[in-house]
Amino acid sequence: MTLSERLGLAVLHHLDPETAHGLSVKALRLGLGPVSGPVTTPRLRTQIAGLDLPNPVGLAAGFDKNAEVLGPLSRAGFGFVEVGAATPRPQEGNPKPRLFRLTEHQAAINRFGFNNEGMDPIAQRLAQRPRDAVIGLNLGANKDSSDRPGDFATVLAHCGPHLDFATVNVSSPNTEKLRDLQGKAALTALLGGVLAARDDLERRLPVFLKIAPDLAQGEVGDVAEVAQETGIDGIIATNTTLAREDVDERYRDTAGGLSGQPLFERSTRVLAQLSAATDGSVPLIGVGGVSSAQQAYAKIRAGASAVQLYTALVYHGLSLVPEIARGLDGLLARDGFANVADAVGTGRDEWLT
């Protein structure tokens, strides 16, 4: 981390978390960010669901909700970037305060509730996106929608021409009853509608499913079965958790989804369970608590073909991204892997005991 980045983070951490987040996006929009481009080597370059990635380290949805800083983020070292979530109509989200730092845990709790400007302005910005980057959109549903499954298909149909991939997000804990759509019958129907919308696009777009870390093992098996039956292109594991056993009791009653370091083991265990349940047939992206090359490598060895991060940037800045990519390249070389794909799932059993 550079001195300027360290000072910038120190200033931001003296502000309300949501205000700080808004300022960090504005700073990137003004050009105050990395310009190096993605880190890549033959070991790091990989494919997932037909996407060519310069490295397997991606940005999770939530940082750039409205696709405002696609250019700066594409130059920050990421192998791919996911923006959103986007809903058909604009919505304010939940009342403030709705974002909380848990500094001693290197974590955060948020209850934003899909606050975004709606799919129209987001699609306009995506139309101006950098063409040399891999960019996807997290699809959401409006809180007051009478047809939430239809909302996902609507956003995909509207924004799909400007995307490299899309993610169906039924795992946010901050929209009431949204997680009910993870049930087997509801999920099958929802994905059927989204994939039909995808098939109407001019080119075939990979569609991923993002799941919660709070599923029981039987529910993980149901998700795996639905993924295989519907032909979904991949699963992102996982979103934030409602669990609080790994944080100070001061935060036990703070509503919202917990992300960051306390989520690492829980999310990696679900990832490994999914890898085992699908026998590696469905590409997986590992999210939750990644803040080092070692943790990214652990996700890959548990079954992930790529990883994403977000909360770690709050504490380590964007310079963490190339640091993780270079560190991951070194770990792959140390263990004799010619490519990151060769390491996928090699340590899965360690997470299944």
**Which residues are tagged catalytic?**
172
Grouping H, G, I as helix, E, B as strand and the rest as coil, residue 71 is helix
Token pair recorded at residue 61: 């949805």
Calculate the dihedral angle through the C-alpha atoms of 310, 311, 316, 320, rounding to the nearest 10 degrees: -30
Sign of the C-alpha dihedral computed for residues 14, 17, 21 and 26 taken in this order: negative
Token pair recorded at residue 338: 């010619």
Asked if 326 and 38 count as a contact pair (C-beta separation under 8 A), the reply is: no
Rounded distance between C-alpha atoms, residue 8 and residue 24, angstroms: 9
Spell out the long-range contacts of 220-227 with Cβ–Cβ below 8 A and sequence spacing 24 or more: 220/270, 220/273, 220/274, 220/277, 221/273, 221/277, 222/183, 222/184, 222/187, 223/182, 223/187, 223/274, 224/274, 224/277, 224/278, 224/282, 225/184, 225/277, 226/184, 226/187, 226/188, 226/191, 227/278, 227/282
Rounded distance between C-alpha atoms, residue 290 and residue 173, angstroms: 20
The answer to whether the bond into 85 is cis (omega within 30° of 0) is yes
184 burial type by CB count under 10 A (0-12 exposed, 13-18 middle, 19+ buried)? middle
Q: What are the strands of the beta sheet with 99-102, ordered from one edge?
A: 99-102, 107-110, 257-260
Rounded distance between C-alpha atoms, residue 167 and residue 51, angstroms: 14
SS3 content of the chain, % helix, strand, coil (to 5): 40, 15, 40
Rounded distance between C-alpha atoms, residue 99 and residue 291, angstroms: 19
